Amino acid sequence: MSHIDHDIPSTPGKFKMEKSSYMNRIRWHYSSLAKLTFWSFVLFLGLILVFFFKSPTSTSSPLPSDLSRRSLRTYSWGGPAWEKRVRASSRTRSRNGLSVLVTGAAGFVGTHISAALKRRGDGVLGLDNFNDYYDPSLKRARQALLERSGVFIVEGDINDIALLKKLFEVVAFTHVMHLAAQAGVRYAMENPSSYVHSNIAGLVNILEVCKSANPQPAIVWASSSSVYGLNTKVPFSEKDRTDQPASLYAATKKAGEEIAHTYNHIYGLSLTGLRFFTVYGPWGRPDMAYFFFTKDILKGKSIPIFEAANHGTVARDFTYIDDIVKGCLAALDTAEKSTGSGGKKKGPAQLRVFNLGNTSPVPVSDLVSILERLLKVKAKRSVTKMPRNGDVQFTHANISSAQRELGYKPTTDLQTGLKKFVRWYLSYYDSGKKSAQ
């Protein structure tokens, strides 16, 4: 038996070989070898074409295994059609318009800011990983809303350095509005690594790419009122201490402020941190009390109303989304240019931190009373001792600095803002078409 016999496939029926001459077998062998070579070549060519048309394609780099399931998703991006959409979305309508990369654009605040920037003629490109911290279908609905006004949201993670570099290669962004983060105070006890991933590693990644960009953009980013932690002096002023965070979320936001200082100091990046105070409104976040209270009141479920030690009132400085948007736009408009280029500092750059609140804290029990009136349903209240899970007893903003430097002046009280929220909520979840999870 020749060695050729061994190479002949022996699938019954497929290659039925009659006893034939040696030459026939050789001929057969060469023709099947030719076929095999031909089809391998076609397959190879196909693979090259797929790579060519999808290039540069990235799957976000593998992440440490302790990260949440949602952080491990991969995204594909790149190609001429994708770049065209990126460019079109970022294009300004006027010569002096800003070209802004908005991270967390499918989020609550990100959607409102992206829409407002686009409305006034700025170029806006969104970036979001559409994670499932809360119902992703709400993020998709916000995406559809932005799509209709000409804002494209790139699906990807802020930790994907190749993607970020590509975005800066395609567009010379003048500004970055950085809102992508793992939000929520209580969830930090359940999934701490998601906070490190998005709020620390992700922020550093954004700053790394911004510092190397030429020109460097100015950056405005979301910190949080939670950095005031266990402070008791009210109202909270930017000059107060912020070294007693009560949650990991707060600690990551505080770390972000220190990291911002470093990048400003070493690389001349212009950086403005905004400490938002309990933002609420239409298209809001389902994990926040005003949102799930509305859902539970309508379902007849009892709602927990926390009470601090000694029957102390728990209160929040609720701030309506439109007021926050005005503050963010003013921060972008007053941001000075970064002074560095290509990773080298050329001179001192602007570094700012502002409170964006409403200056009138409202007890959570009053929030429930307003919702009862608007929904025309009596709530089943269950007064409970506040658990020690990261929440603080009250927040109250001193906004004089934002007033002076940004012209920030909130105008919506809780009653008026909640009316707009409830109207949106009822129409969004109308007739059971969508269910609030």
Ligand X SMILES: NC(=O)c1ccc[n+]([C@@H]2O[C@H](COP(=O)([O-])OP(=O)(O)OC[C@H]3O[C@@H](n4cnc5c(N)ncnc54)[C@H](O)[C@@H]3O)[C@@H](O)[C@H]2O)c1
Which residues of this chain interact with ligand X, rule CB under 6 A? 104, 106-110, 128-131, 139, 157-159, 179-183, 198, 202, 222, 224, 276, 278-279, 285
**Would you call the peptide bond into 282 cis, given omega within 30 degrees of 0 as the criterion?**
no
d(CA 28, CA 22): 10
DSSP for 55-89, written as a single string: -S---PPP--TTS-GGGG------SHHHHHHHHHH
Sign of CA dihedral 80, 82, 83, 84: positive
Q: Which of 133, 134, 228, 249 is catalytic?
A: 249
Helices (H), 55-99: 80-90
Residue with structure tokens 């266990």?
230
Nearer to ligand X (CB atom), residue 268 or residue 394: 394
CB of residue 190 to ligand X, shortest distance in Å: 15
Helix, strand, or coil here: 434?
Answer: coil
Residue nearest to ligand X (CB): 107
CB of residue 347 to ligand X, shortest distance in Å: 29
Residue 8 tokens read as 């002949």
Q: Annotated catalytic, 249?
A: yes
CB of residue 300 to ligand X, shortest distance in Å: 27
CB of residue 129 to ligand X, shortest distance in Å: 4
Nearer to ligand X (CB atom), residue 224 or residue 338: 224
Nearer to ligand X (CB atom), residue 106 or residue 219: 106
Residue with structure tokens 């593998």?
62
CB 377, CB 286: distance < 8 Å: no
Report the 10 Å Cβ neighbour count for 135: 15
CB 430, CB 268: distance < 8 Å: no
CB of residue 331 to ligand X, shortest distance in Å: 13
CB of residue 74 to ligand X, shortest distance in Å: 13
User: What amino acid occupies position 104?
Assistant: G
Nearer to ligand X (CB atom), residue 272 or residue 339: 272
CB of residue 386 to ligand X, shortest distance in Å: 18
Helices (H), 98-196: 108-119, 136-148, 161-170, 192-195
Nearer to ligand X (CB atom), residue 219 or residue 340: 219
Nearer to ligand X (CB atom), residue 163 or residue 268: 163
Number of residues written out for the chain: 437
Write out the H or E segment, with its range, that includes residue 366: helix 364-375
**Would you call the peptide bond into 56 cis, given omega within 30 degrees of 0 as the criterion?**
yes
d(CA 227, CA 223): 8
Residue with structure tokens 């070294």?
243
Nearer to ligand X (CB atom), residue 111 or residue 339: 111
Q: Which residues are catalytic?
A: 249
